[in-house]
Each structure stands twice: as structure tokens, then as C-alpha cells.
Structure 1
Amino acid sequence: MSQIQIWAQKVNSFSLVNENEISTIVIDDSEAEVIKIAGNLLKNDIKNISGKTPNLGNSLEENIILAGTLSKSKWIKQLVHSNKIKVSDIEGKWETYKILVVENPFDEVKKALVIIGSDRRATAYGLLEISRKIGVSPWEWWADVVPEKSQNIQLNIASETFGEPSVKYRGIFLNDEDWGLQPWAANTFEPETNDIGPKTYAKVFELLLRLRANTIWPAMHSSTKAFYHYPENKKVADDYAIVVGSSHAEPMLSNINAEWDRETMGDYRYDTNASSIKKFFEKRTKATANYEGIYTLGMRGEHDSPMIVGNEDVASQVSLLENVIGDQREILKKYKADYPNTPQAFVPYKEVLHYYKNGLKVPDDVTLIWTDDNYGYIRQLSTESEQNRKGGSGVYYHTSYWGRPHDYLWLNSTNPVLMWEELHKAYSLNAREMWILNSGDIKPHEYNIELFMDMGWNISAFEKSEKVEGHQISWAKREFGKEVSSTISDIMNSYYHLAFQRKPEFMAWSQVEPVTKNKQTQLSSIHYGDEVTTRINGYEQLVASVDSIKDQITNNRKDAFYELVYYPVKAAAALNNMWLYAYKNKFVAKQNRESAKYYAQKSSEAYQAIEQMTSFYNDSIQHGKWKYIMNKSPRNLPVFDQPVYTGANSSQESGIGLALEGHEMEYNQNITNAHSDVLPVFNAYTKNSYYLDVFLKGKEAQSWSTKTTVPWLKLSKTEGKLSAENPENRIIVSIDWDLVPKAKNRKEPPLGHDYQLIPPSYKISSSVDFLTTKDTKTVGISVFNPKFEELKKYDGFIEDKGFVVINAENPTRNKKGTETFWEPIQNLGYSGKVMQSKPYKAESIAINDSVLKNSAVLSYDFYTFNYGEVAIRLASLPTHPLNENYGVRCAVAIDDNSPEIIDFETQGRSEEWKENVLRNRTIKSISSILNKPGKHTLKIYIIDPGLMIDQILIDLGGLKNAYGFPAETRQRK
């Protein structure tokens, strides 16, 4: 360890505020404006905590906070010259700063907290690092995280260097602002411009500084005037040292939506009107020549549409786009003094990606910005040769989107771990030049924005997926206190888990462009425990958790809690419940249940709750500070409309009905050979349970009771009274496995996949009677409980009702390959943990048995009672190939069968891709043969890196239609 490193570990205390004095913030007059802005922010932060206002000036006093840039501050230069500080670790670096305490730095100064930046942004970040250290959240204004009060502020400072950042340019894209940010700015925050103008941008830029971000893609919809419409905007950006870029549809910092006037400028077509377009580009480049900017090269059509080209063949399109890029670079060369070092970006997005793949030449010093598919999965990243480009590459990522197959503009529902995985993958393949997050209106994307920026700042702090949960807990601790931080993290994990299975905005099963009305849900109301009710219960538990912790939040953080946790969770629950209860309403109405009214009422209450919560957000928080920021129905899509409800037959005779799990229609004892009077078979090896609904028909209240003849049959409820207020009871039927007798021992397997037809010798049968004043309804019970000696020692997955379900995270064996391995990623997928093929830079493995022996392999032992042809279904996350040299493949084999390839890749915006992104999974299936009943092994070999396997289902013929897979069929003893 060097002498400098030993010195750097020394810890010194520094008092910012105490009863007797307050430090002065000292900034040289020669410093950039952003440093003075940051100094004022720190000054106000100290005042908001202590009630005392420090001086901010350019004169030395006894106790100072000294902030300066190496090349600017006379005070920093003097300290370097006198050898009182060492700066070799930040000299010449990008956005790198250092904080340390110096004793007696100058004759008149006893102690100084010194902040040194390698450049202007670094010094500003350093000042705001002090704000972080004294407990000020980056969201203190944007989410009303009011700091804790304290009359004394003292820091223990170990000399520490921050930076260089992992990603050079890190920022956000203000997009689809029509329903939140623009109406809020125009009507509430900046009515003087009636728009998102310099006052709003100043607040956005302040947030970016606090998050150690440096780049903005400004709002560009037609609802907002172009960024450069207001001359002050570029000055405000420069004052805050924010680099201005523009999206894939806005070449050369222009806003085509707002700035191109077809009447005076002609068609926006480069093949017929290049002269006018070049003048347009030239004007903007000249106006921005003295400001930091990232110039997007290339061209699309108006309103983010494909570029119009007279000759439609690809070669002509490629040639024309190359001419566009060449002309744009000539303009930059003419006006930008730092050319060719002027940052330039090319976004291969939509049809432009097609051109790039078909030979479009992009200059080597231009940064390639790779995009996700708008739903969180990056389309492709740089090949090995592209990774060596001088301009490098970057990422444009969405947590908000308007477009096909469906928008998600309302709530932030992108799983943070998915974002971590995709960004970590991108960084591993050298996408390190620029990261831009499409965060819509900023609110309610606060947490994901911060995670995105923290990863861009220091990716090494996020090596494993577990680091995301640690980051989330630390975030919750900072915002709401240590006592509730773990609970809030658990709440948000559950929130993201449910949203991963299906986003709230997708719950109507509708699509956009063209807009379609709501459709029937794919969630099953009868199979696998009733998926609709299971999801309702999941949200009820989530709501109960957030309600229970609400009163534990301190008064100064209650508004922040509402914005960051309470509203997203409860609004998501309400939109889900609005549709889930509507689906229940339609389902039970077909069975003439009186509860149809109850479910319609619950759905209506959820609709009203969204209205009430959103009104509170807009009108009541901070006395209306956020009025118009939250719109409960962006674009007024059908998913936000109150559903239409169905009633039961009001003229039917009063009585009691039964509905059994696994059956579409109500119980009818008079129907023969339909199994309408039998619950699914209970399996001794999985120890499952089933539900049974007792429901009211007609208006008259009814009582019911049950009668059983065996001690081993357990019912969660044995009697009840139904009425209009309590129209149905759900009973969970289970087995006391210590009491139920064993079936006769048999060597041969049960015949057939229909478990209702299992031979009687393998089953124990009984029934339960439901008694009313009018009749008795008998429900059959069958228990699969044979004696198989070999299963006494078996511990693993087992067949149940004609299928085996395995969560990929639970392999029996996980064997590393020569160069590859399977790695678990927690808090992701339907099961809550996926297995990913790694490393990202591994080569695809040749597809033959001899080479696959060197591949990493997951092995899963499972046991079946049947044999023959089976379907192996693998559910994975709908990722794309890393680049053109890869696929999204694995190889699968059962026992000694030859491995077969499963390929998860989709093409473009196909119907398959649409379905995959709406449900956040892709399911592929192959056939295989089980040559005997008993124990088997499924093996999954790595072929391509990046694949994430979630669940495995081996279907022996018993699988029913449902949205998700049934629960894991692990043997329970």
C-alpha cells in the first residue's frame, strides 16, 4: 500500500453547524456557474436541516467548506502548490472529485472541508455529495423527501475519491409528456410560459446534478414547444452543466415535430429537399456551437415515422442515409470548434437498424446507441469488432412507453432487477459511452431513475443481482428510516413481482394502434387454485402491508411515502382489482351466482379508488404542488375505463349452488360422465388442496352444512349462511395425510393421463355432503395414495395430475462447463428467481453431443407415474440475441435421449413478440419420450449466453389452459 493510500484512509471530523458557529462555503469567483448553483443548493440543504444559513462567498474564514475545480480555483491551486493536498488521482479525469479535511490549509483558516473536482461537473457533484452525507435525498424537491432536522451537523470524513464514472454520459429522456409533466408545468409550476420552459428545466437539471447525471434528451412531443424555442433553455442547461442531446427521431438537436414547417420549408425528405433540411441543421448547429451537446446523426421521417425515400430498395435507402450522415458531419466540422471530438450518436432503431444491418456505414468515432424493444429487453449489442469502435456504444432504455402492443405510461412497473440485468449485460459488452433512460414524466419513476444513474456512476457496486435489493433497502432507509426500510423493500419487491407477471396497464387484454376493446382474460378462474382470485389475494396482501406501515412513517416523510410507495402500490392494486373483479363478475354470472353483484361492486369501488387517490396526489400533496402531474388514464385507453358488468338471473329459484375447482359450470349431480361432482384428485406426494365455492342463487338467504364419513377429510369451513351481503363462501378442501389410509401396493403404473380415471386400486375415495333445507349435494373425493417403496427415499419433483412443474432455480445438480455456467438471478421471473447462461462474452457452443459435454448443464431429477410422449415446455424471459453472432438457444434432453435445440428468438414486432412482452415471458415446447414410469432426469445445456430460464413444465397430457404454470410439483413429505 502506497503512502498516499495510507494517508487517504485517515478520518477527520468536520462540523458544518453547531451551537456556536456555522461553516462558510467558499467558491472562487472564476468557477463555472454550476458550481455556484451547487453551492447554493448545499447552503439551502444545510439551512433546511439546521435552521441556520451558512454564508456563500469568496473570502476565507476560520471554518470553511472549500469547493474548487483544479483548473479554476485559486485556493485549490494554492493548496496543491503548498503540497497540502494531492490531486494526482483526479488530474485529467472525467467527472472525478475528491473530498477531504485539511487542517490549517491557510493562515486564516483553522480547518477546511475541501472538495476538489477534475472539471466543473465533478466539483458540483462533490458539493452535493456533502448534501447526501448530511441526509438530503436527491428527491428532496421532486418527491418531497423533507430532511430530518438537527441543530448540529458534523461529518466524519475519510479522504475519498469519487469517479471516474462507469458510463461517460448518463441521463434521461423526457418523453410522452402530454399527460403529466407538460400539463403540470404549464398550469401549476410554470404558467408564465404555459409550457415546459426554463424554470421547469432548471428543476430537472437540479435533479440530474443531485443524481450525478449529466445528459438530457428534452421533451419533444407536439404538446410542448421545442427545447430551443426558448433561448433561455440552452443557457440554463449550460449553467447546470447539462449536456443536451436528442432522441433517435431528432437529428442534430432539432425537434422535427415542432420545428419543421412543411408550408415554408417543404417536404421533410432528403431525397427531394436536402438543401432546406441542411439549412435547418446548420442553423441549429450554429446556435449550439458554444454549448456542450451530443449530436444525433441520421434521419427518420416526421412524427417518428420511417424516412420517406423515392426509391424503396434497401440499397438506395442505405446510400441516402449515408449521404445524410456525411452532410451532417460536414456541418459539425464547420461550426464546432472541438470537432472531430464533438460527441455524435447514431441510434439503430426500428427501420434504421434494418439499414445498419444491410451495410450502412457509420463513422468509427460515432457512438452507436443500442435500444431495448420498448419493453425492457435490449434488441442487440455490439459485436466484438464493434466494441473496438472509437466512438464506443451506449444504451437507450425504456421504463415508460407509448406504442404497440400496449402503452405503459402511467405507473413505473419495470422490474429493477430486469433493468439491472440488461444494463449489466450492456456494460459487459462495452456499452459505456452513453446511457439514456426514457423515464416519461419523471414521476412516478423515481426509484428506477436513481438505480439507473447509480449503476451508470459506479457499475462495480452492482456486480450481482443481490446488490439491487441492497440498493433498494438503502434507498428506503434514506427516505423513510431504518425501522421500515426492509419492509418497504419487501413491499416494492412484491409490487414489481406482480407487475412483472403482467403490468397494470395490460390487464384489459387489449392492444393499441389500432386500439382494441378489452378482451377475456387468459387468467383461469377454475384451474390451479383460481388464478384470478390468487392475483386478487396477492394484491390484497400487498395493500395490507402498505396500509399497515403507513402510520409508521414520520410526518415529514408522509408525502414522500405517498408519492414513492403508497400511490404506485395501491393504484396498481386498484387497476388490477377493477379488472379482476370484473372477470369474476362475468364468470360467476354464467353460473347464476348472486355474488355477481358483489364482484361488480368491488370492481366499481376499485375504479373509484383510482379516481380518489389520483385526485389526492394532484390536489392535496404539498398544497397542490403536483396538480396535473398524475393522470390516471393516459391516452384514455380502454384499460382505464370502468368495465361493463353482468348480473345473475334474477328470476331464478332461491337455493344454494356449488362450483368445484377444475369445472367451468356449476355442480350438477344429474349430469353423468362429466365429473361435475368430483374435485381434482388429491396427490399424496404433492399434498395439494383444492377449493370449492358454496354460493347463493336467488334473493332468499340460505343456510348450509356439511357431512363427511371419514376423519381424514378437512374442510376450512363446515357450515354457513349465505345472504345478499355474504353471497358465497370459498372452502379449501385438504387431506390429513397422517390419517388417510394407503391404497394397495401395485407394481405397474396407473394407466392413462386422466387422473379421474386412475384405477380404483390406487385411490382412496370418499365424499362430502352439502346439506340445505331443500336438498343434499354430494361431492366426490379421490386421493391418489399408493404404496411405492422407491419413493420413500426419493426427494425431488414428481408428477401430479399429468404434469411436472419445476422452477428453474431448483436444479438437482448445476454443473459448470469449460467456459460457461448457469447463474441465479433473484427477484426476477414468475417464480422469483431465474437461471441465466453466462458469461456474456462466451462464444455460442456448437450444437453436437461431443461439444455439449463441455457446456454447463442444469439437471433436474423428476418422477412420473406415466410414460410415453411428453411435451417439455420451457418458460424464459423474452430476451434477444446479444448481437448478430448469437441466438437465444439452449439444448434439452431427458435421460439418454439426444439433446434437442430450443430457440427463443423472435422476429421484429411479430404477434409472438407482442404476446411475449405483454406477459413478460416466452414459452417454447419440444416433444420427447419417457420410455418407462419412475425416475428421470431433464438436462438443459447452454448454447448461447444471456438466456434466462424461469420455469419448466413436463406435460404428460394433463395440463389445462391457464395464464401461468401450475405450482411447482415438488414431493412433500
Structure 2
Amino acid sequence: MDLKVLIPIVAIFFAFAQPVRAQDVLRVAQKYNRKHFPLLHQQKMATICYDQNDAAVVAIAAKAFAGDLNLLSGLTPLIDSTRSSKAKYQIIIGTAGKSKQIDQLLAKKAIVAFPNGAWENFQIALVDEPFAGVKQALVIAGSDRRGTAFGVFTLSRMLGVSPWVWWADVTPQRQKQLYIAKGKAIQEAPSVQYRGIFLNDEDWGLQPWAAKHLDTDVKDIGPKTYTKIFELLLRLKANYIWPAMHPSTKAFYYYPMDPVMADKYAIVVGSSHCEPMLRNNVFEWSENFEAEYGKKPGEWRYDLNKNEIDQYWTDRLKQSKNYESVYTVGMRGIHDGSMPGPKDPKEKLKLLDEVIQNQRQLFKNNFATQVDRIPQIFCPYKEVLTLYRMGLNLPDDVTIVWADDNHGYVRQLSNPQEQKRVGGAGVYYHLSYWGKPEDYLWLSSTSPSLISYELSKAYAYQARRLWVINVGDIKPAELETTFAMDLAWNVERWKPENAHNYTLAWAKETFGEAYAQQIANIKNEYYHLAASGKPEHINRINFSDAEKEARLQAYQKLAQQADKLKREIPARLQDAYYQLVYYPVMGANYMNQKIFYAQKSIKLARAGKEEALTYADYATQAFEHIKEITKTYNQEIAGGKWDGIMDYRPRKRPIFDMPEIATEAMVSAGKENPVLEKPAPQPRVIPAGSFTRSQNASATKVNKVSGLGVSDSTVTLLPFYFEAFSTDNLNEAPFVEYELEGLTSKHLIEVKCLPTQGVYDGRGVRYAISVNNTPAEVVNITPKSENAVWAQNVLQGYASGKTQAQFKTGKNTIRIYLLDPGIAINQLEIY
């Protein structure tokens, strides 16, 4: 793909994919109508036709679609790849320029022509009498091989086959009749060019599970596992992968069939921020170099060992140049560490410049394609961001892939000058993480609202070339991964304003209308509770006793709802429900019980109270329950299919152990010398969305967003792209006002905000606050660096500013000006 022509193509294919009203578009029907296309009618199925000369992925998609129809009906449709079928009703699948039937339909304008150079466009259309002897055809046409596959799997999803049909055992409802009702053709094209996942931290789940169940011959994540993953990506309309790369897993290219299967499935292969030139250094340099080259490797320092490293990179270019790849340029440590080299930052910057220029020369030496047309990314992640900010000479066609802070808040985006780069920009975003200040590898609890808020902001600042999502080892991030890929495909569909509704749409699609609202309610509350403390982080957060009790009650209610619904879910969906809803809810519930009941037992014991031992038992029982539900996940659901995929204590972090609990000795000691603690005073809480007055500005407006942060009613400014408002003229800035009574004298106002970061270097995340028209105090809630304040912010789910204010008898007015893109106020707390 020519990177220089991508941006105009984006504009063209959005023109191709103009939205139309839902009722006007062709749709799935289950009742007979003579005008409908009969997919399944009176125990007969339409014939699937594709051209054997088309891309391999088209045949893969066509056969998978036949399998989906079999799941829906119990029947197996005929498949014809020779263009000789005489069936009256045909499902014609093919790619423009690769399928004779599609080209014929285009030539006679029976279907809409694709724009020149269109990337992954597809259309699904009904055509009457397309060829002699054919009464009607359901046509799925793509502008390229992936476009065709995406069209096929879009239709599968419309018919009720979940993308997670295999990966989460979402068994579809059997149908006796299936039709496609006439309407305007479905025409779609992606918002983001490269959309995919990073398989990471696979040590405790995916790798041992794959070795035991799929790639049993190599006992690793190998081609059989990747084949399943590639199909999942196609079903999600994703096209890109950073393969697994931990020391537990051999390199992607170690198994010759891995890249072959990626090409068959039309998946673009890249490599993570610390794996330049598609090389997996953890395995290929540290462990396997001698087997590959017959000698031990030299030092991983480009200033000392340039020739050997260049050869190492060159050999991978020779292996990969005939496949679709995106190459990471630059250099870091062998694993996820800083690049070895000079200690002087200026000299290190100079060395990184040299690395990238030499990598460009290697492309020239090994590719017939011009170097600026070879997809390349540079990820200014961790210490590399510092070097980039010092003035790295990055070629204009290289895509900058900005990273989040590992906890879901994007660090930095392109400034106005960077937005002009030919290579554009992208985002590396975490749904799972191993590292400081604390991991979250066990349960996935990042809400669709937060994902939409941060990635939609990135899109507004032109991060549109590549989105790669760290999904850990796939499970249990199924819903969140689906949302991220749906957003990457159509960024306009799930904006921050309506992203909280995604759980309902997902639940309808996955479990059906009858259970959807209950499941959506459960998932939304699960996300809401995790926003103020992920299950893996609650031992690091200073909750008040009142907050702990409120969380315990909320989780108890949530668990009861999940348990009650479990008894109602039909048998075909029990395994899916356990994986997608029940396990994460119950796991989070028991983790909160384990930690908070243990803490309560200690506190009661110090006060000399016997009930301390009761709460110690509660904590112990919760710990045992976590082990029990995990055993059920691994060994009982789906007939043991997932045995080994779920570990309730990845990396054996302290949070997963049994905490200290009260003992009889503690209670006895407490009776002799009781320690009594006074309850902390509780603040007056004002949800940000409960403002009594607001003012908009010309470029942006005050919006309420649900499901975002610690409050269910967050206030922010949308659209995201606007110039920051000056503190010199606050009258022009947007604001919200709150009126309240019953306060006198001085009080502390804490404004809790989403812990976002400035949209680009030099920008803050500011608000200004005024009480009763006093001069406004400006507060920037973003720490200067990833310090202790930042660490606490991401663990507790908010950053805050604190202001002392004088209140008066009667009505008081608090006005908050929103000054920067990305400022999102959750709630006010007055002490």
C-alpha cells in the first residue's frame, strides 16, 4: 500500500460508505416473502460461489461462512469455486479484479464500482437475474482480499454468528428459515487503516493452553493457534497483529508456517515497540542466535556491533519481504528496556538517528519498492518518547504510534506540525498490562466509554493509520477487544456520548434480546465499580470504611444478579455466559470481599471485637471461591476446552495471595489494649453532570458522558479538537455551574477528573474554579511525569485538584471553566 496516497483514499472510501437509514438497508428476515433472498428455505440452502483464482482468504471465508450456516441450520450448503453452478439462488463471494463473476457484475453496473485504490471496502447487495439461469444472487464483493473476507463475516454476524463463536463458545440459535430482505446495498469501509491486537503476557494463559490443546506437536503458540486467532481477527474486521513475544514463546518466524498462514488469512504482521524489523530479540538474539548463525551473538549495542545487528535485521527482511508486514523502526533493549549505548542523552539520540537511517538503507537494499512506500512505524514508548522530544530526525513517511500510559490514558498525540506528516500517526493502547505501578492481567475491566473517549480523541488528532490493542492473552478481554475493533472500523458509530450503550448492543448480539438488558446492566455496573479500583489494584487504594462497605454491597448485588441470570440462560449459551459475564463479575466480587473483609477483621480485632473472626472467615471463603470458579472455568465449562487458559494469580502478585486476617490472639490483645478509630468525615458529593447552568464555546460544547470514570455523569468538551482556552479571557471559555446551600465558612473542594494527559507536548489538562464570583484558580490535573502522583491517579481512577473556598449563608455558586481538550470532570467533593 502506497502510504503517500492513503489519506486521499480515506476521503474517497468514506464517500463510498455513506450511511443510510437502517430500515432502508438490506437486512436479515426469518419469515418467508417471495421477494426475499432465500438463504435457508424449506430445508434448502443457497449455493455459495467463489472464484478459485481469487485470494486464499476468500476461499477460507467462504468455507467458514458455510460452517456458520451449518451451525445455524444443521445443513451444509453447496460450495462451488468453478463458476459452473446452475443454482437459482447463489451467494457470490469475490474480489474486484480477482473474481470473474464480480468483474462481470461491475462491468454491467449490477453492483457499485469501488473507488480506485480503495482499502478494504466491501458491499453486500442483492442482484436479480445476475447471470443466465440464476434467479437472484446475494453478492459479497470486496475492493481487495480483506474487504471480501470482511463482507462475508459481516453477513455471518448479521445472521447471528458471533465473532467469538469458537473463542468464547457463543453457540448461535438454530433457525428453520433465513432470508435477506431487499434494501439498499450495505457498503462499508474502515476508519483506521491497520487495526489489530498485540498478544502479550501470554505466559500464564495462552501459551500453556495452546501447547496443551492446539499446537501439541511443538508445545507452543504455533500455526494451529495462530490460525484460530487469524480467523477471529477477520471476524472482528481486524487486519493486523503483533505476535506473542515473551520468553515463554518462540518467535513468530521460528515456525515457518506462521507467516504462511498469516498470508493465507491476509493478516498483516508487525512487531511490538521493542522488536525492530520484525525480530523477536528475547528469543532470536538471546536464545536462538547460535542455532541460527552457528555462533554466539555479540553485544546488543549498535555503536559496538553494527554489522552483526544489520545482518540479523537483513535476514528477516529477506524472509518477510513477500508478505504484508509493518516494520517497527528504531531500537530498544533486548526486551522491554531502554536502548543500550552512550550514557549522554545527546549521544544516545545521535545513535538512534543512525539506527533509523541505516534501517532505511537496509530496506533499499532488499526491497524493489521505494522505501517511503514500505509501511513503517516508530513507537515513542517510555524512554524513547524522551529521545523523540529531544529532536529525533524521524523520516516523514514513518507512522508515529503514540502509546497510552499503560493504564488506558493516551500520553501524547500529534501536534499541528506532526499532523502534517505523510506517515500519519497511530495508537498503542492497553486493555491488559504487566508493570508499574501494578499489573492488571487477570480480569479485563476497561469500559467501552473510556476506550472510546481516548481512542476517539486520538482519531480527532489524526491518529488514523494504525491502532494496536494490547489484549494480553485474549481472554478475558473479549467484549473490550470487540469494542475496540468495532470502533476502529467505524469511529463514528460509538462516540464517547453513546459508548455506554455498547454493552446493550453487544449483549443483544451475543445472548439475544431476552437477556440483553440484564446483561448490559451487569456489565455497566462491573465497569463502573472497576473505574475506581480494578480488582487487581484495590489493595493499593486508600478507600474509606464507608467506601469499602458501599463497594461490598454493590458487588454483592451485582453477583446476585449474575447468579440469578445464570440459572435462566439457555444451555447453548451457558459456557459463553460463564466466560463473558459470570467469571469476571464473580471474580471481582470475591476479590473485593477477600481484601476488605480481611482488612475489617484486623480493624475489629484491634478494637477487641469477637466478630473480627467472622470477617476473617468471610475473607478466607472469598479466597476459596476465587479458586473454585477458576477451576470451573478451566476444567468444567465447554468440556474442559479451556483448561489452562485462566490463572487467577498471574505473576503471583501479592494481591492474589490470602491477606493477613484476624486471629484469636489479635482479638485477645485488642481486648487488653483496644485501638478505636474514629470514622472519617464523609464529603458532600456533587456529580459533575448535575450542573445547573452551562456555557458552550464556538469550537466545542459541554457534554455529559455516561460510563466514564468514577462518576456515572462525567462532564467534558466535545468535539475534542479545539484550541486551549486562555486564562486571560475566561469569559470566552466553556463552563458549568453548581448551586448549593447549607454551607458556611471555609471548605475544601476536591474536583475529581479522569486522569487524562495533555493532547500533545506542552499542553496541560486544566480547569479553573471560582466560588461566588471570586477570582478563578487554575488547576492542571496532569502530573509532570510518571511519578507517584500519576501512579496513584491511575490506580484510583481519577486525578484531582483541591481548592479552599469561602462559602456564605444561603445560595452558593461554584463555576468550573473547562480549558483544555481531554478535561473530563467526574464529580465534586466538598469537605
TM category (shorter chain) comes to over 0.9
- Residue 809 of structure 1 corresponds to 689
Amino acid at match of 1:324: V
**Residues 136-535 of structure 1 correspond to what in structure 2 (within 5 A)?**
136-261=161-286, 264-310=296-342, 312-339=343-370, 340-466=372-498, 468-509=499-540, 522-525=542-545, 530-535=546-551
Output one character per residue of 1:461-514: Cα deviation in whole Å (capped at 9) or x when no partner: 123422x233221211121111110110000011111111101111222xxxxx
SS of alignment partner, residue 858 of structure 1: strand
Output one character per residue of 1:542-562: Cα deviation in whole Å (capped at 9) or x when no partner: 001101111221110000000
- Residue 828 of structure 1 corresponds to 708
- Residue 802 of structure 2 corresponds to 925
SS of alignment partner, residue 841 of structure 1: coil
Cα gap change, 1:904/1:119 in structure 2, threshold over 3 Å: closer, same or farther? same
**Is 1:86 matched with 2:111?**
yes
Output one character per residue of 1:788-843: Cα deviation in whole Å (capped at 9) or x when no partner: xxxxxxxxxxxxx7964322111121111344432111112222121113442211
Cα gap change, 1:157/1:557 in structure 2, threshold over 3 Å: closer, same or farther? farther
C-alpha separation in 1, matches of 2:406 and 2:43: 56
- Residue 614 of structure 2 corresponds to 598
1:864 deviates by 4.0
Cα gap change, 1:20/1:150 in structure 2, threshold over 3 Å: closer, same or farther? closer
SS of alignment partner, residue 17 of structure 1: strand
C-alpha separation in 1, matches of 2:207 and 2:700: 49
Cα gap change, 1:73/1:838 in structure 2, threshold over 3 Å: closer, same or farther? closer
**Is 1:73 matched with 2:105?**
no
**Is 1:938 matched with 2:814?**
yes
- Residue 953 of structure 1 corresponds to 829
Alignment check: 8 A CA contact 1:857 1:940 kept: yes
Cα gap change, 1:401/1:9 in structure 2, threshold over 3 Å: closer, same or farther? closer
Higher-RCO chain (CA-CA 8 Å, sequence separation at least 6): 2
SS of alignment partner, residue 811 of structure 2: strand
Cα gap change, 1:208/1:410 in structure 2, threshold over 3 Å: closer, same or farther? same
Point out 4+ residue stretches in structure 1 off by more than 4 angstroms: 4-12, 648-655, 801-804
C-alpha separation in 1, matches of 2:328 and 2:566: 46
Cα gap change, 1:150/1:855 in structure 2, threshold over 3 Å: closer, same or farther? same
Alignment check: 8 A CA contact 1:90 1:97 kept: no
> Normalization by structure 1: what TM-score?
0.79
SS of alignment partner, residue 383 of structure 1: coil
**Is 1:28 matched with 2:44?**
no
**Is 1:882 matched with 2:759?**
yes
Match of 1:911 among 788, 794, 799: 788
Alignment check: 8 A CA contact 1:99 1:160 kept: yes
Match of 2:779 among 902, 916, 927: 902
Match of 1:536 among 552, 559, 562: 552
1:212 deviates by 0.5
C-alpha separation in 2, matches of 1:132 and 1:90: 26
- Residue 609 of structure 1 corresponds to 625
Amino acid at match of 2:77: P
SS of alignment partner, residue 853 of structure 1: helix
C-alpha separation in 2, matches of 1:549 and 1:540: 14
SS of alignment partner, residue 72 of structure 2: helix
1:870 deviates by 3.4
Alignment check: 8 A CA contact 1:480 1:554 kept: no
C-alpha separation in 1, matches of 2:826 and 2:502: 24
> Normalization by structure 2: what TM-score?
0.92
Cα gap change, 1:484/1:361 in structure 2, threshold over 3 Å: closer, same or farther? same
Where structure 1 has 5 or more consecutive residues not aligned to the other structure, the ranges are 510-520, 667-675, 681-800, 956-973
**Residues 760-771 of structure 1 correspond to what in structure 2 (within 5 A)?**
none
Match of 1:47 among 49, 52, 70: 70
Alignment check: 8 A CA contact 1:820 1:942 kept: no
* Larger displacement relative to structure 2 (872-881 or 857-866): 857-866
**Is 1:872 matched with 2:749?**
yes
1:233 deviates by 0.3
Output one character per residue of 1:188-216: Cα deviation in whole Å (capped at 9) or x when no partner: 22211100000000000000000000000
- Residue 754 of structure 1 corresponds to none
C-alpha separation in 2, matches of 1:418 and 1:545: 24
SS of alignment partner, residue 303 of structure 2: helix
More helix per residue: 2
C-alpha separation in 2, matches of 1:155 and 1:554: 27
1:855 deviates by 0.7
Larger radius of gyration: 1
Alignment check: 8 A CA contact 1:185 1:194 kept: yes
C-alpha separation in 1, matches of 2:435 and 2:619: 27
C-alpha separation in 1, matches of 2:683 and 2:126: 66
Amino acid at match of 1:75: Q
1:408 deviates by 0.4
1:89 deviates by 4.3
Cα gap change, 1:557/1:354 in structure 2, threshold over 3 Å: closer, same or farther? same
Amino acid at match of 2:276: P
1:74 deviates by 0.9
**Is 1:644 matched with 2:644?**
no
More strand per residue: 1
C-alpha separation in 1, matches of 2:253 and 2:152: 29
Output one character per residue of 1:573-609: Cα deviation in whole Å (capped at 9) or x when no partner: 1111111110111111112222111111111111111
1:885 deviates by 4.1
Compute the RMSD of aligned alpha carbons. Answer: 2.4
1:566 deviates by 0.4
Output one character per residue of 1:319-344: Cα deviation in whole Å (capped at 9) or x when no partner: 11111111111111222333331111
SS of alignment partner, residue 727 of structure 2: coil
C-alpha separation in 2, matches of 1:873 and 1:414: 24
* Larger displacement relative to structure 2 (479-488 or 934-943): 934-943
1:18 deviates by 2.2
Where structure 2 has 5 or more consecutive residues not aligned to the other structure, the ranges are 1-14, 28-34, 290-294
Identity of aligned residues (%): 41
C-alpha separation in 2, matches of 1:928 and 1:473: 42
**Is 1:17 matched with 2:40?**
yes
Amino acid at match of 2:354: N
Alignment check: 8 A CA contact 1:383 1:885 kept: no
Cα gap change, 1:929/1:20 in structure 2, threshold over 3 Å: closer, same or farther? closer
